[in-house]
Amino acid sequence: MNVDIAARTDVGRVRQVNEDSYLADGPLFAVADGMGGHLAGDIASQIAVRIITEEARSRPPATPGLLEDYVRAANREIWERAHGDPDLSGMGTTCTLLYLDGDQAHLAHVGDSRAYLLRAGELTQLSEDHTLVQRMVNEGRLQPEEANRHPQRSIITRALGVDADVEVDHLTITLTPGDRLLLASDGLSSMIGDGDIKEILARAPSSDEAARQLIAAANEAGGEDNVTVIILSVLDEGELRTAAASPAADPQPRATDEDAPRAPRGSRLRKLLVVVLVLSLLAGAAYAAARYTIDNSWFVGATEERYIAIYRGIPDEIAGLTLKEKVRETTMKVDDLPPLFREDVLDGIKEESREDAEETISNFKDRIRDFGEPGAGDGDGGKSGGEGGGG
């Protein structure tokens, strides 16, 4: 079977670091989209690609059952590294792995990187996203077209590195000439819709051209995330283009250098990793009963009584579902702060780590002290809230 292969990755227009990694080493192909503070997401996705490569070398051939073993081995390694190094705590990655065996395409999948098939002009998403919004779609709480644009679409319910073991989805399809397979990180699907993806895949004359156009389209739409695409076009017998001819098909995993530049501190909220411990969500009525571990997102916010506190999770609610847990409440009140800061705290100030959150708290302590000093305030009084909130 003649296959034209292209693989490309791009940091996008907003992020400083590309946390995606990919493998395009026929017959094995993978996209991994890392998450976690600082360098950790980058490292998690690189480990996934490296372990899968090593496993495939030491345990060929990659039968469907072995594919799952490769992914689980990668999961185990990431999990162990995350637990052995505080800097890597909370890291994780998606992994969508494809193995070509003649005209059979075997998929193993965890997370929200996607596998699509374009066949006879129709685009089908082969993988199901392991995301909170997909769960809500499955339950009829959200329309599918709302899911791609939902502000919390990046919350994933399954990832490598979160637990000692991981459940892996599988799929096998039989390919026919004219088929086009696409593996892509969510930096593509969160920026452009399936209609645009279909159009580009259907029209592009080659895999490489399709890959270039998809990345360009994601960047034109804002490029808010790293974007990675791998495209496999199954050629008719007569077509001359060969898999090896594609200049973009990098036979090696992307960078394995773990000393990449650090992301600026506090740059933005990383993809939040939510692990659903109790799958009672499936019952539909049970959001309240569901338990979540919200691993690697922090913010400084206010309690209902307006005390400043540090939370793990995110300030927003989704369909009435609270995704935060208070880890420390201070004795400072929002109203003790200069007015300029109050709104931010009430909205929730996102932080990269617990340490960053503590730093913000410590800053606030100084602000409140200065604000409370005579002449330092803006005249409408420093302290308010007479029930002794001052620290």
SS3 call for 335:
helix
Closest distance of CB 296 from Ca ion, Å: 14
Candidates 225, 250, 351, 356; binder of Ca ion (CB under 5 A) is 225
Of residues 25-44, those binding Ca ion (CB under 5 A): 33
Closest distance of CB 228 from Ca ion, Å: 8
Residue 19 or residue 55: which is nearer to Ca ion going by CB?
Answer: 19
Site residue total, Ca ion (CB under 5 A):
5
Residue 1 or residue 11: which is nearer to Ca ion going by CB?
Answer: 11
Residue 14 or residue 290: which is nearer to Ca ion going by CB?
Answer: 14
Residue 159 or residue 308: which is nearer to Ca ion going by CB?
Answer: 159
Closest distance of CB 342 from Ca ion, Å: 33
Backbone angles phi, psi at 293, to 5 degrees: -110, 120
Closest distance of CB 206 from Ca ion, Å: 25
Closest distance of CB 111 from Ca ion, Å: 9
Could you write out the three-class secondary structure of 122-145? Answer: EEEECCCCCEHHHHHHHCCCCCHH
Distances (CA, A) of 103 to 20, 33, 59, 100, 217: 28, 27, 21, 7, 30
Closest distance of CB 10 from Ca ion, Å: 12
Residue 94 or residue 360: which is nearer to Ca ion going by CB?
Answer: 94
Backbone angles phi, psi at 356, to 5 degrees: -60, -40
Residue 95 or residue 368: which is nearer to Ca ion going by CB?
Answer: 95
Closest distance of CB 185 from Ca ion, Å: 5
Q: Does 112 bind Ca ion (CB under 5 A)?
A: no
Is the bond leading into 61 cis (omega within 30 degrees of zero)? Answer: yes
Residue 33 or residue 250: which is nearer to Ca ion going by CB?
Answer: 33
**Residue among 37, 1, 31, 47 at smallest CA distance from 17:** 37
Separation of CA 90 from chain center: 13
Of residues 115-134, those binding Ca ion (CB under 5 A): none
- H-state helical runs in the chain: 40-58, 64-84, 132-138, 144-147, 186-189, 194-203, 207-220, 339-347, 354-372
Candidates 55, 129, 186, 351; binder of Ca ion (CB under 5 A) is 186
Residues that bind Ca ion (CB under 5 A): 33, 185-187, 225
